[in-house]
Structure 1
């Protein structure tokens, strides 16, 4: 992948990461550096509604960006080990200099490597795999292929969840969602699109997800009180879109 020119900008108290374009790769509110500023990043943490604590013990992130997801997990889930795979070493440098990425290799390890190759060649298992990797033109490339999603499935623990951000794939969205569905034998759930147009997909091949709507709300209220993460709008959108069956979230 060709290296992109990385730019950092600020507006109205928010610092943004860009790759050669106006397209935002990440954001941090300067007064709340460890909060999830962008709505799609909050939705990517909805696995906290699908699995009971303590979960996840081990998280793998494909794509670092401004480090928002890595920072949230690091500060709000102190028992979780985090590995981030990022192809561009400049991104790690910028995340540390401008976005307050913690320097704690015992809990937060950043590997400079190709995310697809890492998944296809390794054998470690993870409770949560979050895929949010794109080039400067919002293209996921090999990170949006059936072999990659199959490799992700093979690397999940029994309680593992795959979480994929489908940003920038409007024309091929149905094909992307179908590849995930096929890799997981139909056990995938497409969340309604966020206000920024991102669509998040969850998938699992292990323990079933079966959570009553009331329990979803209870968990969301817990995380809002504990961390400021507000997933109540996500639950409302899931209900409105008919994603709850018999008033339960099933996967």
Structure 2
């Protein structure tokens, strides 16, 4: 990456930029472990779909950014082991210096490399894969291809969920979702677009998911009480968009 990495602050929020106006990550300085951006909160909606007491145990995060997802997992899911794959070492350095990325330890490992190559080469299995990798023009490249999504699915275990941020692909959004649907044998769903224009898509492997809306709300309230993260508006948006047929989220 030859473009500059910019750190900005406004209104108590520090943001990461790759030489453009696109926000690549954000942290509220008084709440460094909270998920400031709405789409990052929705990428953690797997906590509503699986048993949050035991899920996730093994997470793969592709694209570090400001380390928001990593910090949330690290601090609020104490049993999880996190593998990060980030292609640009200067992003890792910036996350450490400006966004309070925890030091590597038994629970957190960081690999400098290409995320698409990593999923093709690794033999490890995960129950949570979070894909949020972009260049300065908000392009995902190889991280938005059918072979990548197919390889991602092969890494998921019986509790496996993949969440992908489809931001920056507005014109190709349907094509992106079709690739995910193909890779996951139609076990995929795209959440309604956030105010920012981000769309989060989930693909599921292993045990089927069928959670009634009332239970989704109960889980969202329990998650809010435990972590401060509020996914109740997400449940409402899913219901309003007709994504809960028969009053259940099926995946």
Superposition TM-score tier, normalisation by shorter sequence: over 0.9
Identify the residue that residue 193 of structure 2 maps to in structure 1.
Answer: 193
Pair 1:233-2:236 in alignment: no
Q: Partners of 2:88 and 2:231 in 1: how far apart?
A: 31
Contact 2:104 2:110 in 1 (8 A): no
Match of 1:162, SS state, is strand
Q: What is the deviation of 1:214?
A: 1.2
Identify the residue that residue 203 of structure 1 maps to in structure 2.
Answer: 203
Q: Partners of 1:78 and 1:107 in 2: how far apart?
A: 9
Q: Partners of 1:171 and 1:248 in 2: how far apart?
A: 29
What whole-Å deviation, never above 9, does each CA across 1:13-50 have from its counterpart, x for those lacking one?
00000000011000000000000000000000000001
Contact 1:191 1:200 in 2 (8 A): yes
Q: What is the deviation of 1:144?
A: 0.3
Counterparts of residues 66-85 of structure 1 (less than 5 Å): 66-85=66-85
Pair 1:93-2:93 in alignment: yes
What whole-Å deviation, never above 9, does each CA across 1:177-219 have from its counterpart, x for those lacking one?
0000000111101100011000000011211011111111111
Unpaired runs of 5+ in structure 1? none
Contact 1:159 1:206 in 2 (8 A): yes
What whole-Å deviation, never above 9, does each CA across 1:41-72 have from its counterpart, x for those lacking one?
00000000011131000100000000000000
Identify the residue that residue 139 of structure 2 maps to in structure 1.
Answer: 139
Q: What is the deviation of 1:123?
A: 1.4
Q: CA RMSD in A?
A: 0.7
Counterparts of residues 1-251 of structure 1 (less than 5 Å): 2-52=1-51, 53-251=53-251
Normalising by the residue count of structure 1, what TM-score does the alignment of the two structures yield? 0.98
Q: What is the deviation of 1:224?
A: 0.4
Match of 1:246, SS state, is helix
Number of equivalenced pairs: 250
Structure 1: 4+ residue segments shifted above 6 A:
none
Q: What is the deviation of 1:4?
A: 2.8
Moved more, 230-239 or 4-13: 4-13
Contact 1:3 1:88 in 2 (8 A): no
Normalising by the residue count of structure 2, what TM-score does the alignment of the two structures yield? 0.98
Q: Partners of 1:81 and 1:4 in 2: how far apart?
A: 32
Q: Partners of 1:3 and 1:246 in 2: how far apart?
A: 50
